[in-house]
Amino acid sequence: MEEEVENLENLLKWAADMGITDSTNGNPSASCLGHSLTISNFPEAGGRGLGAVRDLRKGELILKVPKSALFTAECLLQKDQKLSLAINRHHFLSPIQILIVCLLYEVGKGKSSMWYPYLMLLPRSYHILATFGQFQRQALQVDDAIWAAERAVSTSESEWKQANKLMEELKLKPQLVSFKAWLWASATVSSRTMHIAWDKAGCLCPVGDFFNYAAPGEESDGIENVEGRMHASYLPNGGTPDILESEKFNAHLHRLTDGGFEEDVNSYCFYARKNYKKGEQVLLSYGTYTNLELLEHYGFILNENPNDKVFISLESGLYSSSSLPKESQYIEQNGKPSFALLSALRLWMTPANQRRSVGHLAYSGCQLSVDNEISVMIWISNKCHAILKNLPTSIKEDSLLLSAINKIQDYNTPMELKKVMSAFGNEVRAFLETSCLKNGKNGAAAAAAAELSLSGKTKLSIERWKFAVQWRLRYKRTLANCISYCDELGLLPCCQTG
């Protein structure tokens, strides 16, 4: 604890020396924070984050980080010829792989790194999907999610292998060349980098990366719903990088209230996105993400996420009966089928020879007929029921399991653990077995062993397992919300307006 406080003081002093400031006029001052922001703990939203030290007005400049304080591949290569020569020999590596290697290389310098005070304050571990073990991946239960987690792990592994030779040439310490270290560095890059125009991997922005996330919401101007500033490099496939590159959206991005790199002041600037009261946590929108994407790239989920989406598998004929993109056919967290999903289903439920004549109505979100609407609602409701039925556990079981996991995390004595184990059978036991906690048949011995080993690695496994259960529970609740929505509207189709 004392060490943590000391590290934080060192970081703030270092940051002030680097010209990072939260002063109202944006000019560097003796202390980096304290004019607008302070570092605090917000257990309900991200843990360590930035709080307002005074009332802040929407649009106010609240933090400025000069370019020289940004951790970028470019700045590291300029300062280190050995690194620059080695990386030039591996030009096939992606900008993200290069930034990851730069980070590991800099960590390897220890106290002699100019970034040392910053590096010391980076999280020791992460929970992004690529860190999920086999057990945690299976605990997601939903095929698409399991597949996303498997892809995340295999992508990380292959990127690490591709960079191995470079890391050997750089003579990194063995522990920094390990896959574990790679995962740590790639999670750091994935969850903390911010967009800059000159490097697709983005930059690490000391102090600016203490802002926790809030989904883009009502305070935004609508453009924010397309993309925030953090983490340009890992955005979902086919989505934002293209958007970011398009001139049209670049023009809009200048109007974001959150923040971004500003050429005229050669700094990353952050602005209050809304009015904040003194003491409130000041949040940043990193962009628009579903819960699965948040878990994949940032290692957390939001229980209330206005951008969450549940995709249900649809018959192939259904996709071809409408010209609306597959990605727009989903269920919202509140249970409402998306406009595109409803339009596609309304058309699909129409006899093929009549689809052309009603297409314009379907694409404008209109009901086609009472019967058609009832069929659509029944179809979606049945589909959601079938998905829920096919999943290994129910909403109720998952809720109980979550409370069991909380108890496991809090348990103090072997007796308590034993009680939890006997109350919540299968999955808890399976976890304890896979985590080598269960020692033979004797419950007391198992608990004693558990008491000894419930630390470090096991705690991380539990944390990730909990995220998997939270994610699938949220997914199931969305389907249940959808059933209620459809059942209600299926009975009152004439009141529905699309």
Ligand X SMILES: C[S@@+](CC[C@H](N)C(=O)[O-])C[C@H]1O[C@@H](n2cnc3c(N)ncnc32)[C@H](O)[C@@H]1O
Binding site for ligand X (CB under 6 A): 45-49, 123, 191-192, 209-210, 212-213, 298-300
Looking at the Cβ atoms of 11 and 449, the one nearer to ligand X is 11
Shortest separation between residue 302's beta carbon and ligand X, angstroms: 6
Q: Which is nearer to ligand X, 190 or 338 (CB)?
A: 190
Pick 271 or 300: Cβ nearer ligand X: 300
Q: How far is the CB of 205 from ligand X (least distance, A)?
A: 9
How far is C-alpha 115 from the geometric centre of its chain's CA atoms?
Answer: 25
Could you tell me the smallest distance in angstroms from the CB atom of residue 99 to ligand X? Answer: 15
* Paired tokens of 181: 């270290």
Shortest separation between residue 279's beta carbon and ligand X, angstroms: 17
> Which is nearest to 234 in space by CA: 298, 309, 169?
298
User: Which residue, 106 or 373, is less far from ligand X as judged by CB?
Assistant: 106
Provide, rounded to whole angstroms, the least separation between the CB of residue 196 and ligand X.
Answer: 15
Q: Which is nearer to ligand X, 140 or 230 (CB)?
A: 230
Give the nearer residue to ligand X in terms of CB position, either 181 or 437.
181
Min dist. Cβ of residue 15 to ligand X (A): 14
Token pair, residue 296, equals: 């994949």
For ligand X, the closer of residues 226 and 230 by Cβ is 230
CB of 8 to ligand X, least distance (A): 11
Closer of 208 and 414 to ligand X (Cβ)? 208
| Residue nearest to ligand X as judged by C-beta position | 46
**Closest CB to ligand X among 45 and 491?**
45
Shortest spacing between CB 50 and ligand X, in angstroms: 8
